[in-house]
Amino acid sequence: MATIAAEPVPTKKGRSRKALKQTNPSSNEANILASVISQPSPTPIAPPLEDSAGKENHESLSQPQSAKKTKKAGTKAKQQQQQQNQSVEKELQEMQEKLQQLRIEKEQTEELLKAREETLKMKEEELETRGKEQEKLQTELKKLQKMKEFKPTMTFPIVQSLREKELEKKDKKKKGCPQIKRPSPTYILWCKDQWNEIKKANPEAEFKETSIILGTKWKMVSAEEKKPYEEKYQAEKEAYLKVVGNEKRENEAMKLLEEEQKQRTAMELLDQYLQFKQEAEKDNKKTKKEKDPLKPKQPMSAFFVFTNERRAALLAESKSVLEVAKITGEEWKSMTEKQKKPYEKIAKQNKEKYLEEMEAYKQRKEEESANLKKEENEMMKIHKQEALQLLKKKEKTDNIIKKTKENRQKKKKILDPNKPKKPASSFLLFSKEARKNLLEERPGINNSTLNALISVKWKELSEEDKQTWNEKAAEAKEAYKKELEEYNKSAAMEEENNNNPQQ
């Protein structure tokens, strides 16, 4: 059989494509191209040997199939290259964007570093200025430490403030001290008496009912029955008003005294501070704290007793103080207990003596503190008296101002110089003698304090002592009455003579 030659199968023409622009291949692209070129092109596999007739037919059929395969492989390779090129371009763009971001970040970090450097410089300058200021303050502190402390040598007035008094009153209330209550009116006093009787008559009655019954009964009570209750109320009221009035007067007087004493203390403090400042400018040396000279000194130990004995001999050998201390210390360590015993006995005796002296010193101090407290209490009494005197003066001045205003309208009365003067009271007679004694005891004492002391002493007098002064005052009063009677008789005679000069 004749073999028929197989005609070639018409192939499709490929689409015309524009050539890509030549780009400088990067290292990645070069590697990809090398791998593509190194790949072997697909070649047709040789079929197995068959009969001669079968061979011709097989060759004619295999030619168009191999051409198709080669075309497909070419298109795939082109697509792969395009994809690779696109991925490379994307990577390049991403890299460029990252580079730009890194540049921006770098600029920002540089700006931050500059700002930090500026802040550090500013802080260093601040630290330098602070260091200079601290040095100045330290120098000023040293100057101040060298200066003496301001210690005023004046005694401050012992005056209780009104707030302290109020607190004391509250404490007394809490403790249960009896305090003067306001007097209850006549109706309440009558109700207290009548309450039990009405309760017996009406045991089931409540508080409201009993109060109504009492009200109706009170209306029926006559004026004579009310009189004792009214008298009781008036007596209680007078006592209460006296106590309250005295307290008010004391408070006002203490206020006045506080104001005066504040002014005095302020002036004295100012004078003392100016003197202290002048002395401090002259003497800038440190001063030691003042010790009590009466306080007993602490006893020496056994070692110091031994060193006192040995010091004279060692100093005679022309040895220094340090050498003496070293030698005595070594000798004391090397000594036995028997050798140390006499020195220990002396130290023990000194210690016992010191303890006895300390006990006596403490007792003295306690006595001094007790005396100080007594003096403070006495001063407090004197201050109160001064305050009351100030208040009296103020009241007198107020009364004088009122009287002068009234007397301006009236004519001045002419007093007779021959008229006998009123006699002095028992207090005034006592004050004359007491003043003389106090002026001799305390020369240069203030007049206000002197008057206060006299009044305190008068209050502290017993009734027997006061009676002697009362008797003297009574004698003076009787003499005054006799003189007054004689004066009045002579005045009447003169008036009669003036009225009837010629009969």
CATH superfamily of 294-403: High mobility group box domain (1.10.30.10)
Question: What pLDDT is recorded for position 45?
Answer: 43
Residue 387: burial class (beta carbons within 10 Å; 0-12, 13-18, 19+)? buried
The answer to whether domain 294-403 and domain 419-484 are alike in fold is yes
Query: Nearest Cα to 324, choosing from 334, 337, 313, 333?
Result: 313
Domain ranges of the chain: 56-146, 162-184+222-282, 294-403, 419-484
Question: What pLDDT is recorded for position 294?
Answer: 79
Question: What pLDDT is recorded for position 432?
Answer: 87
Distance between CA atoms of 244 and 404, rounded to whole angstroms?
31
Global pTM reads: 0.29
Q: Over the range 259-291, which residues count as b (16 or more CB within 10 Å of their CB) and which as e? A: eebeeeeeeeeeeeeeebeeeeeeeeeeeeeee
What does the chain come to in residues?
Answer: 503
Question: What pLDDT is recorded for position 166?
Answer: 53
Distance between CA atoms of 61 and 9, rounded to whole angstroms?
10
Distance between CA atoms of 419 and 413, rounded to whole angstroms?
14
Phi then psi dihedrals of residue 91, to 5 deg = -60, -40
Question: What pLDDT is recorded for position 499?
Answer: 65
Collapsing DSSP to helix, strand or coil, 447 comes out as helix
Do 301 and 351 meet the contact criterion of CB atoms below 8 Å apart?
no
Is it true that domain 419-484 has CATH number 3.50.50.60?
A: no
pLDDT along the chain (503 residues), means of 10: 42 48 49 48 43 48 58 79 87 91 91 90 88 84 64 55 55 54 84 84 83 84 85 86 81 78 78 76 57 81 86 83 86 87 88 89 88 85 80 81 74 64 86 86 81 85 87 88 84 73 50
Residue 424: burial class (beta carbons within 10 Å; 0-12, 13-18, 19+)? middle
Question: What pLDDT is recorded for position 200?
Answer: 84
Distance between CA atoms of 43 and 23, rounded to whole angstroms?
32
Query: Nearest Cα to 315, choosing from 325, 306, 305?
Result: 325
- State both tokens at 457: 């002493």
DSSP track, 99-153 = HHHHHHHHHHHHHHHHHHHHHHHHHHHHHHHHHHHHHHHHHHHHHHHHSPP----
